[in-house]
Amino acid sequence: MTAQARPHAQAQRFREFRMPDVGEGLTEAEILKWYVAVGDAVTDGQVVCEVETAKAAVELPIPFDGVVSEIRFDEGTTVDVGTPIIVVDAGAGGAGPADEAPGGGAAAADGGPVTVEPEPPAEPAAKREAVLVGYGVSQASTTRRPRKAAVPPQGAELNGHGGGAVSAAPVAQAPVAPAAPAAPASAAPASAVAAPADRPLAKPPVRKLAKDLGIDLATVVPTGPNGVVTRDDIRAAAAPPAPLPSAAAEAAAAVAPGARETRVPIKGVRKATAQAMVASAFTAPHVSEFVTFDITRTMRLVQELKEDRAFAGLRVSPLLLVAKALLVAIKRHPEVNAAWDEASQEIVHKSYVNLGIAAATPRGLIVPNIKDAQDKTLPELAASLSELISTARDGKTSPAAMQGGTVTITNVGVFGVDTGTPILNPGESAILAFGAVKLQPWVHKGKVKPRQVTTLALSFDHRLVDGELGSRVLADVAAILEQPKRLITWA
């Protein structure tokens, strides 16, 4: 091989895998877990890591074969889309010890530096389309967040862990206008690059527990196998327990003893939800209506269906019949199933129902939907509903499962709440809140008797749905649940 050909061969040998755009129109993702380490062989299509975007946890497969030569970011790091996260030696047999550079990177056979072949850069964020239902980025917020601060002085903590070696890499400094106030150190451009420090061994749930409790993993004495930090280690280090942040918080900074305030970064699901709800509240004129009724017969039907062979192995709950009642009401009043197209100034009527179900997960509230729910039988709807909820709770909901919703149900009754005024998912026409079912005195056949009573609340977009239409839809849902035989006579 000639001297000119050698660098080209080396460039083809080492390949970068960049953080991809997983189809959500988002600009960054947090690395939750690495499934490979330096020196591991990987094959085309093998999952190498799990990342979390604003709405879902996604596993990333690598698109080529080789041996891992470098992992650029630790678990828990938020990385911009298009940034290289892992380098793979695509040469036959992988790189031997003689091929590794002193800093952990690869070196050419003659001792010179190796050029790494980058993957094609990701499409700019401004050109991607937001495809998550109600949770895409707005056109006014396509700029990326500022990069993190310069590396602190030697001896200071880096990402919560001290002792990391720092090697300076000079960069050009932009001139600063004399009248401009001095920027704080935390906002200064990065002027140094830190080599990754040794991280305590701990699984992602343990790291999250430590983060929630404000515990630095580097200060915890591990008792698990091979020096792994366990949950018990974190709890022991937290005695007396530090105050926990709210359940909505996804990450919290360490809290000094006796602190009166705690600041929690706004990111992930909380950030996306906030943006979507603000956009919806100030775009679609909301109207909310309520109905309280006797749901005793439906509750009895739920118990009967649980014993029916057609539902063997399926989860049967009142939510299943609420969903079916809403689908029947939409079939009777199809005009409610529509969307407002501001750009073309058109109302889009939909002949399909992608039924969203708001699901509380460890990462926050998400709204996956059941595609073409109007065509499903009751057992099929039960199976789809069970799969949707289980997948969401496991944190495995895919971005595709949250696209294209038309109407949504939120079950606030599981929290003991009677009702509420839910905010629409942007792009949808209506959202139904199902309240708690409680035994209450009720006039039944002319006598006051204890009956199962609940309240439904329907919020709808008044541009699409006028008061009469919204009232008819809500009244039909209540009528079906009060007399569930109407599932047959009205379907």
At 266-310, the pLDDT tens digits run: 776 667 777 777 878 878 889 999 999 999 999 999 999 999 999
Residue 166 has pLDDT above 50, yes or no: no
**Do 405 and 282 have their domain in common?**
yes
> pLDDT for 436-453, tens place per residue?
999 999 999 999 999 999
> pLDDT for 54-85, tens place per residue?
667 788 999 889 999 999 999 988 888 889 99
Closest CA to 402 of 251, 250, 272, 314: 272
- The residue out of 69, 97, 126 marking a domain boundary is 126
Structure tokens at 381: 């709807």
> What is the amino acid identity at position 177?
A
The chain-wide mean pLDDT, for the chain, equals 76
Angle separating helix axes 378-393 and 318-332, nearest 10 degrees: 120
**Do 332 and 233 have their domain in common?**
no
**Residue 149 falls inside a structural domain:** no
**Residue 150 falls inside a structural domain:** no
Residue scoring higher pLDDT (363 or 108): 363
Neighbour tally for 293: CB within 10 Å = 19
**Do 248 and 370 have their domain in common?**
no
Cα dihedral 169, 170, 175, 181 sign: positive
> What is the amino acid identity at position 20?
P
Q: Is 462 assigned a catalytic role?
A: yes
- For residue 1, the model assigns a pLDDT of 53
Question: Hey, is 47 helix, strand or coil?
Answer: strand
**Do 416 and 278 have their domain in common?**
yes
59/258 Cα distance (integer angstroms) = 40
> pLDDT for 331-387, tens place per residue?
999 999 999 998 899 999 999 999 999 988 877 788 999 999 999 999 999 999 999
- How is 62-125 classified by DSSP, letter by letter? -SS-EEEEEE-S-TT-EEETT-EEEEEE-STT---GGGB-TTSSBB-TTSPBPPPBPPPPPPPG
- For residue 337, the model assigns a pLDDT of 97
> Residue 9: which pLDDT band, with cuts at 50, 70 and 90?
low
Residue 157 has pLDDT above 70, yes or no: no
- Find where tokens 């960049």 sit: 18
**Do 336 and 482 have their domain in common?**
yes
Kindly report the CATH number assigned to the domain that includes residue 234. 4.10.320.10
First to last CA, the chain: 75
**Residue 157 falls inside a structural domain:** no
DSSP single-letter state for residue 257: T
**Do 237 and 323 have their domain in common?**
no
Neighbour tally for 94: CB within 10 Å = 18
Residue 196 has pLDDT above 80, yes or no: no
- How is 193-220 classified by DSSP, letter by letter? EEPPPP--EE-HHHHHHHHHHT--GGGS
**Do 323 and 468 have their domain in common?**
yes
**Residue 82 falls inside a structural domain:** yes
Catalytic residue among 8, 349, 444, 462: 462
> What's the structural domain count of the chain?
3
Residue scoring higher pLDDT (209 or 115): 209
**Do 251 and 300 have their domain in common?**
no
269/249 Cα distance (integer angstroms) = 9
Structure tokens at 351: 């002949």
**Range among 43-52, 395-404, 437-446 rated most confident:** 437-446
Kindly report the CATH number assigned to the domain that includes residue 83. 2.40.50.100
Cβ neighbours of residue 190 closer than 8 Å, sequence gap 6 or more: 147, 148, 149, 150, 151, 171
> pLDDT for 240-259, tens place per residue?
433 334 444 444 445 567 77
Residue 439 has φ and ψ, to the nearest 5°, of -80, 120
Closest CA to 432 of 481, 389, 485, 381: 481
- The residue out of 86, 102, 126 marking a domain boundary is 126
- How is 337-371 classified by DSSP, letter by letter? SEEEETTTTEEEE-SS--EEE-EEETTEEE--EET
DSSP single-letter state for residue 444: E
Residue 305 has φ and ψ, to the nearest 5°, of -65, -30
**Do 243 and 221 have their domain in common?**
yes
**Residue 167 falls inside a structural domain:** no
**Radius of gyration of the chain from its Cα atoms, rounded to whole angstroms:** 28
**Residue 79 falls inside a structural domain:** yes
Neighbour tally for 113: CB within 10 Å = 12
**Do 209 and 98 have their domain in common?**
no
**Do 288 and 391 have their domain in common?**
yes
**Residue 192 falls inside a structural domain:** no
Give residue 11's domain range: 5-126
- The residue out of 126, 158, 193 marking a domain boundary is 126
**Do 223 and 301 have their domain in common?**
no
Kindly report the CATH number assigned to the domain that includes residue 447. 3.30.559.10
- How is 144-183 classified by DSSP, letter by letter? PPPPPPPPPPTTS-BTTB----EEE---PPPP--TTSPPP
Output the pTM of the full model. Answer: 0.56
Work out the burial of residue 247: count CB atoms within 10 Å of its CB; fewer than 13 is exposed, 13-18 middle, 19 or more buried.
Answer: exposed
**Residue 311 falls inside a structural domain:** yes
